[in-house]
Amino acid sequence: MGIKIRKGDTVQVIAGDDKGKVGRVLSVDEVKWRVVVEKINFIKRHTKPRKQGVQGGILEREAPIHISNVMLYDPKAQRGTRVGVRRLADGTRERFSRVSGETVGKA
C-alpha cells in the first residue's frame, strides 16, 4: 500500500493535542509511518553547546506524528480529505482529493 502523503503537502491534524491545525509536511519517514509537520507537535529539547558558536539551552522543534493522525487538506472544501490515486489515459498516475475530485499532484 504506500504512503499517500508527501513532503510539501498541506495536511490537517485529525487526532491529538493539535487536532484541527493545518500545516505543511517537512519530512516523511516511510519506515516508521511518521511525518513532521511545520509548527505542529512542538517538543522541548535541552541541548548542550557542542562546539564554539553553537548555542545551547532549551530548543523547541517539531516532533514526528503518526501518519494515521493527519489527513491531506483540501483548500477547496476547506477540510481534510482522503487521497485517491487514478491512472490517466497516458499511463501516468495522479493523486486526487476524494472530497472535491481535484488533482493534488503526481503519485
Q: List, for residues 4-15, the tens digit of each pLDDT value.
A: 999 999 999 999
CA dihedral of 63, 68, 73, 78, whole degrees rounded to 10: -110
Rounded to whole angstroms, the Cα distance separating 61 from 81 reads 27
Q: What is the CATH number of domain 10-50+57-78?
A: 2.30.30.30
71-85: string of b/e by CB count within 10 Å (b at 16+)? bbbbeeeeebbebee
The pLDDT assigned to 107 comes to 62
Residue 35: the pLDDT is: 98
d(Cα 107, Cα 28) in Å, to the nearest integer? 15
pLDDT tens per residue, range 40-80:
999 999 999 988 888 889 999 999 999 999 999 999 999 99
**Number of C-beta neighbours around residue 24 at 10 A:** 14
Domain residue extents for the chain:
10-50+57-78
